[in-house]
Amino acid sequence: MKPDVLIVDDEAVNRRLLSDLVALEGYNTIPASGGEEALTILSATAVDLVLLDLMMPRVDGMAVLNELRH
C-alpha cells in the first residue's frame, strides 16, 4: 500500500507540481487548496505526510499546525 501525502497550497500551480513530483516517487497524493480544506480532509482521513504551505489566506499553515496539535 502506498503512503498518502496531503499537499496543501493555495496556488494551484504549486499544488499540481508537488503532486506530480510526489506521485512520480510512488506516493498517493491528496490535494487541498487551503487550510480549511486540509483540516476537513485530516478530520476524515489518516495521511502519512503533510506538505503544508505556511503563507495562505484565511487559514494559514501555522493555524493548521496549531489545530493538529490539539
What CATH architecture does domain 4-69 belong to?
3-Layer(aba) Sandwich (3.40)
Q: Give per-residue pLDDT as tens, 8-53.
A: 999 999 999 999 999 999 999 999 999 999 999 999 999 999 999 9
Q: In Å, how far are 2, 9, 20, 22, 26 from 35, measured between CA atoms?
A: 24, 8, 20, 20, 25
Query: pLDDT category, 62, cuts 50, 70, 90?
Result: confident
